[in-house]
Structure 1
Amino acid sequence: MSSTRKAGPGAGEDLLPWIVPGAAFLIGTMFLGAWLGGTLGAAVSGAGWHPPPFALSTLSTLVEEGPGPLWPTASPTALAAGMATVFGAVVAVITVLILLVRRRLTAPTGLAGRKELAGLLPKGAARRARELRPGLAKLGKITPDDTGNLIGDLEPRGPELRSSYEDVELDLMAPRAGKSTGIAVPRVLRARGSVLLTSNKADVYSVTRAERERVGRVWTFDPQGIAHTPRGLWWDMLAEAATIEGARRLAGHFVGAVNDDASRRDFWISAAQNTLTALFHAAQRGGRPIGEVLAWLADPADRTPVDLLRDAGMTALADQLQGTVQGAVETRDGIYETSRQCVACLLDPAIAAWVTPDPALPQFFPDRHVLSRDTLYLLSKDGGGSAAGVVAAAADSVLRAGVVAAERMGGRLEPPMTAVLDEAANVCRISDLPDLYSHFGSRGINIVTLLQSYRQGSRVWGESGMDALWSAATIKLLGAGLDDADFVEKVSRLVGEHDVSTVSWSRSKEGRSRSTSYRLERILPADRIRALPKGTALLLATGIRPALVRLRPWYAEPGADRIATAAQAEVKAITARAAERITTR
């Protein structure tokens, strides 16, 4: 990347030769305006078209005696009105020219402009949307939200940029940098199909719930009372363990919730996952509830899961589980204790109830959800006692159901599904998410993962896993407050360098001489990336030079007043439910 700009102490002296021509141009422009305005004013008032000579003598008369001698038959009011009209038009034209020049000069040097971002501009987004979504061909005019996801406005003054529904996104921003207001909330509000949202707070839920109820059913999975919503559904978690692969994935979510790095699993963690895989599969094949899995973990000598596996014809898995039970006592107890720690959240009846069959409540079916326009909120606290394992399992179930549905529909979901994994490193640790990421985009599952930093993702998926997630994301937004020096320096190198010219002047006996030298300089040094203002982000899109964008928070968009009123009512309802829960304890 290269561009050229002038810098240095001699830059101001370059303007000296332009002072006289500039003054002459200004005087000439003012004279032309007065001459043309007076002539027009006289003609409109009925005095006829009699322009005086366009000469210095006319300028001298105008300055010394005013417009009267030049247009003697016209009224002074008409002359003044004509001149004011012309001067106003000239000022308007000059103002527009200044704004255009200023816009060009203030555009970030070396970053992508409209030409490079043509595929993300409204026309390009609409063209791609018609190619990816054949159903749009029946519509004469499609709405902007049907063409793709709103990213934001290109700095400094637009236009808006949109990613396609086959793009998958990774956003890194510090807390209170605009993740919720500028990304999560707008994505949920603007979604065209089903929605999946994970979070450890009720902010996005409170803003979007009422709006999403206008287009479909709202399912709120809130086992730890983030929004203090009463239990209104149950999900058959063990249905995911119908196959050994599904049981292993289910076990992996609970293991991942207590293990920071999937690439550094020791013997006890790996053995615990194997044991949970066998127990989950035994419970599913035997039609047993999750409570019995906890009972088997509490009593390793219980042969029920081994018998259930043998009855289901899973002899090898039964033998493996029996080998663990009959192994050395110290080893067996270590494995079972690690397994118990992984599923400790299910010891809380308030959490286990959400994944236990309840005929009095509707059942949530992931395969039905992905084909609807419904919304699923998966809420969980992070830290000790977290239901993150359950939330990760539910999110993974919906995502995989979306893939299956897309395959049945010919390759892509229509309309596309929106998945916003907010606080993914805390409440939605899907261990193989980096490997699946690009696959989701090709299936019409528009997924965005929100993290506070690159290092936060590395702690969950390991360095190689986070690198894979970074590489798979076709859209990356880097917002304010990124304090990881190594990562920010890496991004600065990715943005690139440009040529900077420095003008220097020297004096000698022969006179003054000017020289220009060039040097390479970072387009965005690391300190500028770290100091990005709140509400702005660096856009890294596949195959396009980096660009600066300004996020568009939901409260600055049309209809925000109605949404804000509903959000306030929801916050009051959450507060009332929280107070009632405290009172009844």
Structure 2
Amino acid sequence: MAALAAFGILAFTVVWAGGTFGAGLAGYGWDAPPFALSTASTLISRGPTALWPGAPAAVLYAGMFGMLALIAVPAALAVNFVLDRGKAPKGLAGKRELAAMCPAGIEARARELRPTLKGREELHPDETGNLLGDLDPKGPELRSSYEDVELDLMAPRAGKSTGIAVPRVLRAQGAVLLTSNKSDVYAVTRAQREKAGTVWTFDPQGIAHAPRAMWWNILGECHTIEGARRMAGHFVASVNDDTAKKDFWISAAQNTLTALFLAAARGRAPLTELLAWLADPADRTPIDLLREVGLVAMAEQLQGTVRGAVETRDGIYETARQTASCLLDPEILAWVTPDPELPEFRPHEHVLSTDTLYLLSKDGGGSAAGVIAGLADATMRAGVVAAERMGGRLDPPLTAVLDEAANVCRISDLPDLYSHFGSRGINVVTLLQSYRQGARVWGDVGMDALWSAATIKLLGAGLDDADFVQKISTLVGQHDVKTPSVSRSKDGTSRSYSYRQESVLPPDRIRALPKGTALLLATGVKPALIRLRPWYKEPGAAEISQAAKAETAAITARAAARLLPGQGLTLEKGNVVDLEGYRDAARA
């Protein structure tokens, strides 16, 4: 009854005040009728014109609705504000804590890091930092700076490609490097990146079935002992996990490969000759070449390996042959062999451009992961050299998205290089399916180092490692929960409150994060929940989607032409004209 009475009084007040204001503003006088029950009775029985004589009903009703809006809008905003505060997870970062990652803060930071932005009044948001997503529940958008390096852990089909890899490639301001074992990111982004610069597709195993339109001189990175050792390390890492890194045969095979790479590079021998040296340990050619260029110690070490016990020598060489076995595939070898009819990819030129390099390889045995890791490493190290020449930082920055880094891009010392890359304007984003996947490649110590070096960490849906999720819950921390208690006695009722500690995000809630959301761990800031922004929900998605469909159809046609020749498949302007032959053959 009290609620009904209050509602009636409120409704009458709105009508009374609104009618008076409407009549007054329209020029019919400001004479308000008495604020009494008789006025309400007259209003119900005879209408508003009886209370404000001379004023049209439309004017009176307009004033009433205006007064209602004047009261209802602030009330609705206040209720919405209270509800939003109730929805926001307690104990997580809000706008105030994340001010440095919000638009104003990230723009100020970008002006400090990028000299080319000084003096410009307006900046495009993509020029200020890398888009991470929107703060849950209602924004604003958050971006990382160009000195941040990122590590993302998400289960398959949790939004790594659509919410992270594709947007980073599309929004990149400078050169781009992408590694992957699938063609989805390539298909979505290739047409758009062609508008920014040259697209280099390194696809030795036919992931996107792209025709060979480039070559990279793998021996060009092996003219120094450091370069040759790094290249040998990439081949070794591609076939061995961390548990085998300290194995005698693995270490000896890496030393042997280092000497052979160095001999071939300094002696200007082709890669096919290096493979012949691996097949015949008794061949003294690499030893002689090392001596001729003054690398006597390296020559003596290789000679000691060759002159050792036959069983030991054969074991070392066989291990080395296994690590470099992908080069026995002529299709893979052609991509790293000089071809005068095709352009050569030069990493030191790429990092200063707005070009895009796609590195595609399969997982498992026979993959070109060693070559992929070598080219990715050479490109990022070229970025470091270019940054040093530019005063310490690349501008615009190099964007390196290492998707499936644990499978196709095993750079053994990536954890040690991570923080160094950030200080040089090289934005590295490493995408893994789980913490354990990274630990299998870099070991527990290496993965801990990678985790610590990453200034931005995104943890998405589907993390099923109980120990890891428990550690994350501990890192997120706890908050106070107010618990009321009521006691009754003959003297009356009393209420008291107690406080207890409760996890901000329990492990089960972290595991059950919805697809498209992620837990943001940024250095020096409380954890926050964000919503990823997939490319297909952004402006311009229709154009990108159409180009992606055309590219996917082209990949399908190229695959059919390669695997099912003679089925009548043709291409015209990148679109498939006839796929019936492929479909018929596939059904058969």
Residue identity opposite 1:261 in structure 2: D
Q: CA deviation at 1:473?
A: 0.4
Match of 1:212 in 2: 193
Alpha-carbon distance between aligned partners in 1 of 2:114 and 2:479, rounded to the nearest angstrom: 39
The answer to whether the 8 A contact 2:193-2:356 is kept is yes
Alpha-carbon distance between aligned partners in 2 of 1:341 and 1:23, rounded to the nearest angstrom: 85
The answer to whether the 8 A contact 1:197-1:377 is kept is yes
SS at match of 1:47: coil
- Where does 1:194-273 land on structure 2 (aligned, <5 Å)? 194-261=175-242, 264-273=245-254
Match of 1:35 in 2: 16
Matching residue within 123, 127, 133 for 2:104 = 123
Residue 276 (1) aligns with residue 234 (2): no
Spell out, residue by residue over 1:524-563, the C-alpha distance to the aligned partner (whole angstroms, 9 max, x if none).
0000000000000000000000000000001111111111
SS at match of 2:520: strand
Q: CA deviation at 1:354?
A: 0.4
Q: CA deviation at 1:100?
A: 1.7
Match of 2:487 in 1: 506
Spell out, residue by residue over 1:4-35, the C-alpha distance to the aligned partner (whole angstroms, 9 max, x if none).
xxxxxxxxxxxxxxx95x76764443232111
Spell out, residue by residue over 1:400-458, the C-alpha distance to the aligned partner (whole angstroms, 9 max, x if none).
00000000111001111100000000000000000000000100001110000000000
- Where does 1:64-463 land on structure 2 (aligned, <5 Å)? 66-261=47-242, 264-463=245-444
Structure 1: gaps (5+ residues): 1-18
Structure 1 pair 23–120 and aligned structure 2 pair: CA distance change class (3 A): farther
SS at match of 2:204: coil
Residue identity opposite 1:387 in structure 2: A
Match of 2:522 in 1: 541
Residue identity opposite 2:230 in structure 1: R
Q: CA deviation at 1:62?
A: 4.3
Match of 1:524 in 2: 505
The answer to whether the 8 A contact 2:245-2:251 is kept is no
The answer to whether the 8 A contact 1:425-1:456 is kept is yes
Structure 1 pair 95–263 and aligned structure 2 pair: CA distance change class (3 A): farther
The answer to whether the 8 A contact 1:41-1:78 is kept is yes
Residue identity opposite 2:16 in structure 1: W
The answer to whether the 8 A contact 1:42-1:71 is kept is yes
Structure 1 pair 137–173 and aligned structure 2 pair: CA distance change class (3 A): same
Structure 2: gaps (5+ residues): 567-588
The answer to whether the 8 A contact 1:42-1:78 is kept is yes
Alpha-carbon distance between aligned partners in 2 of 1:220 and 1:65, rounded to the nearest angstrom: 81
Q: CA deviation at 1:331?
A: 0.6
Match of 1:577 in 2: 558
The answer to whether the 8 A contact 1:263-1:462 is kept is no
Residue identity opposite 2:74 in structure 1: V
Residue identity opposite 2:197 in structure 1: G
Q: CA deviation at 1:239?
A: 1.0
Sequence identity, in percent? 70
Match of 1:13 in 2: none
Match of 2:586 in 1: none
Q: How well do the aligned residues superpose, as a CA RMSD in angstroms? A: 1.6
Match of 1:496 in 2: 477
The answer to whether the 8 A contact 2:361-2:372 is kept is yes
The answer to whether the 8 A contact 1:263-1:461 is kept is no
Residue identity opposite 2:430 in structure 1: T
Alpha-carbon distance between aligned partners in 2 of 1:443 and 1:191, rounded to the nearest angstrom: 16
Q: CA deviation at 1:104?
A: 1.6
Matching residue within 50, 74, 89 for 2:31 = 50
Spell out, residue by residue over 1:351-404, the C-alpha distance to the aligned partner (whole angstroms, 9 max, x if none).
011001111110000000000000000000011111000000000000000000
The answer to whether the 8 A contact 1:422-1:450 is kept is yes
**TM-score, structure 2 normalization:** 0.94
Match of 2:577 in 1: none
Alpha-carbon distance between aligned partners in 1 of 2:234 and 2:422, rounded to the nearest angstrom: 22
Alpha-carbon distance between aligned partners in 2 of 1:42 and 1:270, rounded to the nearest angstrom: 93
Structure 1 pair 58–241 and aligned structure 2 pair: CA distance change class (3 A): same
Match of 1:5 in 2: none
Q: CA deviation at 1:577?
A: 0.2
Alpha-carbon distance between aligned partners in 1 of 2:217 and 2:186, rounded to the nearest angstrom: 23
Matching residue within 529, 535, 549 for 1:568 = 549
The answer to whether the 8 A contact 1:45-1:75 is kept is no
Alpha-carbon distance between aligned partners in 2 of 1:404 and 1:520, rounded to the nearest angstrom: 50
SS at match of 2:237: helix
SS at match of 1:514: strand
Match of 1:9 in 2: none
Structure 1 pair 28–133 and aligned structure 2 pair: CA distance change class (3 A): farther
The answer to whether the 8 A contact 1:201-1:226 is kept is yes
Spell out, residue by residue over 1:323-354, the C-alpha distance to the aligned partner (whole angstroms, 9 max, x if none).
11111111111101100100111110000110
Q: CA deviation at 1:61?
A: 5.0
Q: CA deviation at 1:320?
A: 0.7
Match of 2:569 in 1: none
Alpha-carbon distance between aligned partners in 1 of 2:120 and 2:60, rounded to the nearest angstrom: 55
Q: CA deviation at 1:584?
A: 3.4
Alpha-carbon distance between aligned partners in 2 of 1:158 and 1:202, rounded to the nearest angstrom: 32
SS at match of 1:138: coil
Residue identity opposite 1:80 in structure 2: Y
The answer to whether the 8 A contact 1:149-1:163 is kept is yes
The answer to whether the 8 A contact 2:180-2:408 is kept is yes
Match of 2:532 in 1: 551
SS at match of 2:374: helix
Alpha-carbon distance between aligned partners in 2 of 1:548 and 1:457, rounded to the nearest angstrom: 23
Match of 1:3 in 2: none
Alpha-carbon distance between aligned partners in 2 of 1:96 and 1:26, rounded to the nearest angstrom: 20
Q: CA deviation at 1:263?
A: 7.2
* Equivalenced residues, count: 566
Match of 1:11 in 2: none
Residue identity opposite 1:282 in structure 2: A
